[in-house]
Amino acid sequence: MMIMKPCVPDKLPLKTIEWEPLIPLIGKANRTLAYYDGILYGVSNPDVLLSPLTTQEAVPSSKIEGTQATLGEVLMHFSGHFCLC
């Protein structure tokens, strides 16, 4: 029998990270998020952009829970044409 131990995360902030090489990447990520945020203001229903991500996440989540659902089955269920009963 395997004994599970709780995960104890490292203390933050991590002192072993070299921040200097990451600064340009952080700036680029910040610009990209700001650009994406600007695009969302022009979309009448921004949830449409997140819907595929949440639907795609449902497949591995169902496997973790012990059920087996394919992406096609999840999409059919949400479209109202299929029951996963």
> What is the full DSSP assignment across the chain?
-PPP----PPPSS-SS---GGGHHHHHHHHHHHHHHHHHHHH-S-THHHHHHHHHHHHHHHHHHTT----HHHHHHHHHTS----
Q: What is the pLDDT of residues 3-38, one digit of tens each?
A: 888 888 888 877 888 889 999 999 999 999 999 888
Q: 46-72 pLDDT, tens per residue?
A: 777 666 666 666 666 666 566 666 667
Give the pLDDT confidence score for residue 84 in this predicted structure: 47
Residue 83 lies in a domain: yes
Flag whether 16 is in a domain.
no
User: What pLDDT score was predicted for residue 9?
Assistant: 82
Tell me whether residue 79 is in a domain: yes
Rounded CA gap, 25 and 12, in Å? 20
Residue 29's pLDDT is 95
Q: How many independent structural domains does the chain possess?
A: 1
- Does residue 75 sit within a domain? yes
pLDDT of residue 34: 94
Examine residue 30 and state whether it is found in any structural domain, yes or no.
no
82 occurs within a structural domain: yes
Q: Domain range holding 59?
A: 51-85
CB 61 within 8 A of CB 73: no
